[in-house]
Amino acid sequence: MDQPGVVIRPSKDRDLDSVVALQRAADDSRVVSMEGFRHWRATRPERAQALELVAELDGAVVGHGVAGRNTNTTTPGAAWASVTVDAASRRHGVGDRLGSRLLQHLGDIGATRATSFFRFTEEGERWALARGWSRLMTAPLIALDPRIVPDASTPPGFRCVGMSSLGPEDMFAAVAAAALDEPSPVPNDDTRLEDFLREWEDPDLDLEASAATLDDDGRVAAFAFIKIVGARAQHGFTGTQREYRGQGLATAAKRAALRAAAARGVTRVTTMNAEENAAMRAINRKLGFEPIGEHVILGRDL
């Protein structure tokens, strides 16, 4: 049954506080500041053709939805969508109204298949499955206190540095190459420098804590990104160049990033890895990460 008085409209800057609060309530592992969300909103690539909406009731934002083209892949028609509704406003048609507008938009821009990433709840997945979505991938959600992590050590010929000592161009090639091996419903084969620069400038990304493992020639062999907001942190992408794998270089980068986070007063770091990524899951277990839930990726044809 629709909730009377709900208005669906484009999201505005004035909605920022409410939208960030909704995101945090829906997934307490998410580390995002208002400045970080504002940056993400303002710097989305134009070719994504994104539509961002809110649901408003009596002047309060009770739902948020956003959808657009997947700009990280060459797969034709690939897109993404996400809907979040305040717990008190669920089961009243708010999610349906947001979702139908987003799917219509994706169809209008020529998308043929969408994925959606969210923190798993039985309620959320049941809602999505009843509307034509199906589970594609599962990623255990894990956390640790970085203060328990030992200092980083590297094999001979390698050293760890903070990414702030490097430029984005130094990191880009390594990230783009590693992204090709990242488990995903569609290949991440269209990573572009201009998009990477937007992520590099994210206010929540701590470039001093984020770490890279370099070889003797200064080439990036492995890396680990980390976002920090207050006493909470979230691991971003971690990867190793193919020719350097099996030497503990990603572990060294992750340890360096986690130790730096601990030095900043962080007491909880969250991350997740696809079940298919056995090597990274093994690294995280050895570091001491423990399960706290899971993220899922759902998909549907349009």
pLDDT tens per residue across span 157-184: 999 999 999 999 999 999 999 999 999 9
Give the model's confidence band at 2: pLDDT under 50 very low, under 70 low, under 90 confident, else very high. Answer: low
pLDDT at site 76: 97
Give the model's confidence band at 254: pLDDT under 50 very low, under 70 low, under 90 confident, else very high. Answer: very high
In sign, the C-alpha dihedral spanning 127, 130, 131, 137 is: positive
- Reported as a single tens digit per residue, the pLDDT across 170-222 is 999 999 999 999 999 999 999 999 999 999 999 999 999 999 999 999 999 99
Domains and CATH numbers, the chain: 6-119 (3.40.630.30), 143-294 (3.40.630.30)
Show Cβ contacts of residue 59 under 8 Å, excluding neighbours closer than 6 positions.
none
Within 10 A of 60 (CB to CB), how many other CB atoms are there? 10
- Reported as a single tens digit per residue, the pLDDT across 8-39 is 999 999 999 999 999 999 999 999 999 999 99
Among 262, 280, 264, CA closest to 272: 280
Q: Which residue has the tokens 């580390």?
A: 31
Show Cβ contacts of residue 83 under 8 Å, excluding neighbours closer than 6 positions.
63, 64, 65, 95, 98, 99, 102, 116
- Reported as a single tens digit per residue, the pLDDT across 42-57 is 999 999 999 999 999 9
The bridge status of strand 134-144 relative to strand 290-301 is antiparallel
- Reported as a single tens digit per residue, the pLDDT across 59-86 is 999 999 999 999 999 999 999 999 999 9
Three-class secondary structure assignment of the chain:
CCCCCEEEEECCHHHHHHHHHHHHHHCCCCCCCHHHHHHHHHHCCHHHCCEEEEEEECCEEEEEEEEEECCCCCCCCEEEEEEEECHHHCCCCHHHHHHHHHHHHHHHCCCCEEEEEEECCHHHHHHHHCCCCEEEEEEEEEEECHHHCCCCCCCCCEEEEEHHHCCHHHHHHHHHHHHCCCCCCCCCCCCCHHHHHHHHCCCCECCCCCEEEEECCCCEEEEEEEEEECCEEEEEEEEECHHHCCCCHHHHHHHHHHHHHHHCCCCEEEEECCCCCHHHHHHHHHHCCEEEEEEEEEEEEC
Within 10 A of 57 (CB to CB), how many other CB atoms are there? 18
For 146, phi then psi, to 5°, come to: -65, -15
pLDDT at site 233: 96
Give the model's confidence band at 3: pLDDT under 50 very low, under 70 low, under 90 confident, else very high. Answer: low
- Reported as a single tens digit per residue, the pLDDT across 98-148 is 999 999 999 999 999 999 999 999 999 999 999 999 999 999 999 999 999
The bridge status of strand 113-119 relative to strand 78-85 is parallel
Predicted confidence (pLDDT) at residue 236 exceeds the cutoff of 90 = no
Predicted confidence (pLDDT) at residue 4 exceeds the cutoff of 80 = no
pLDDT at site 255: 96
Predicted confidence (pLDDT) at residue 1 exceeds the cutoff of 60 = no
Residue 254's Cβ-side half-sphere holds a number of Cα atoms within 13 Å equal to 28
Give the model's confidence band at 277: pLDDT under 50 very low, under 70 low, under 90 confident, else very high. Answer: confident
